[in-house]
Each structure stands twice: as C-alpha cells, then as structure tokens.
Structure 1
C-alpha cells in the first residue's frame, strides 16, 4: 500500500527508530503495524493504536508518540525531552522527537506499557503471564 503523504517516514533516523519499534513490538500478542490514512506508521492491537510515528515534509527525523496515562505523561514531560502529543495529549499520549531518543530501555518499557493499555484484558493478561 503506497501513500502520497508528507508524513510517510523517509529519514534514516525515523526509519531506524521504526525498525527498533518493530523489534520491541514483535513479541507482543496481536500487535501489528499499519499506515493510517494520514501516512503515519501506527502500531496497533485489535485496531487500537498504542504507538504512532510521523514525519514532516522536510524529513527531519520525525517523532514517536505513544499511549500513556496522565500521571506518567506529566512525569515524562517534566523530565524531558518528552512532550504532550498534539490533538490527543489530553488522553495521556506522549511524544518525543526521534533525534532525542537516548534511553532505549526506558522507551521499550513505555512502549510495552502503551501496548498493555490498548490491548484487551485477556491479551494483556496473557502477555503478563508469559
């Protein structure tokens, strides 16, 4: 499926981050990667998004957004370089510019938590019981 959109990932940085996200989500039951109607690379579980990636027209590295709760969102924003996601931040979503990702262990944990927030209870429980 090809999209003519300025949001499709093109920079080396964004593509490398996407590949690392793929590796993190590979072990999550029923997690899948899709390109949404806006050209964002989206990771979903049963049609519920838990990670989204997008990149502007200039291909400057893009950003990564993930589902969180409001407490975690506030803590991450306070410590930086995370920021509240535009349009969906009121639901706890947090973003980071791909160029600013330094702690992949922390980000991996946050992505798994995002998956567990989006996944149906049975899938989340199956993952926790692994």
Structure 2
C-alpha cells in the first residue's frame, strides 16, 4: 500500500514534479482519499505520487501504446500501476533510474491525454 510522501527523497521529488506541473495551464494539486499527492486538470488526475517504506513512487497517465513500450524495455524501471494500469497508467518506483527529461515527457503526455483541447491549444501557443 502506497501512503503519503514523508521522506526527504519523496518531498524533494514532489517539489520537482510540482514545479513542472504547475507551469501547465489550470493544473491543481490535491491530496486524494488515499493520501496520494495528485496533479489534476479539470479535476482529472494525470500524475499521482505516494510512498512505501521511504521509497517515493510516481504514477503517470500514458496511452496504452506508450505503457506497453515502457513495460517491454529490458530491465525497465517502469511498472503497470496497480488498480488503474489497464487505463494506461505507469508507475516509476525509483525515479533515480529514469532521466528527468523522460519523466517530463511522460508528464506532458499525461497532461495532453487529460486536458481539454482548449487548454492544449493554449499550451502550444505559449510554447512556440
């Protein structure tokens, strides 16, 4: 069972993810009923974070093709997220094993899969 982030490593990771997510249009941070920190757009989560035995874990919404690609890599640091993996969610139990740029790209994909088209075009306009 994954619980709230309390370790120094977990708090540092959530600060890094927060800094990235909060740059995206209309993102809100909420703690869900399980104590996970979630980043949402229009109240739909695209990143969820928790911790087990002092090890932070990050789950990101991807599409099923991306999920399958990530899970099939040899020695992959990714896992299918319990309970919601069938919807394309991948978990990264140890983010030290994944380049930060790759995590940012996955967060962007999660946001793009979750946000309304209006917000995506707003985002693309500001990134040109």
- Return the TM-score normalized by structure 1: 0.89
Greater fraction strand: 2
Matched, 1:30 2:30: no
Matched, 1:69 2:85: no
Give the distance between the partners of 2:95 and 2:87, measured in 1 at CA: 24
Give the distance between the partners of 2:33 and 2:98, measured in 1 at CA: 30
3-state SS of paired residue (1:62): strand
The CA deviation at 1:98 is: 3.4
Partner of 1:116: 112
Q: Aligned runs of 1:1-130 on 2, under 5 Å? A: 7-56=3-52, 58=53, 60-79=54-73, 80-130=76-126
- Return the TM-score normalized by structure 2: 0.90
- Cα RMSD, aligned residues only: 1.3
Gaps of 5+ in 1: 1-5
8 A Cα contact 1:17 1:98, kept in partner: no
Equivalences, count: 123
Gaps of 5+ in 2: none
Give the distance between the partners of 1:101 and 1:115, measured in 2 at CA: 22
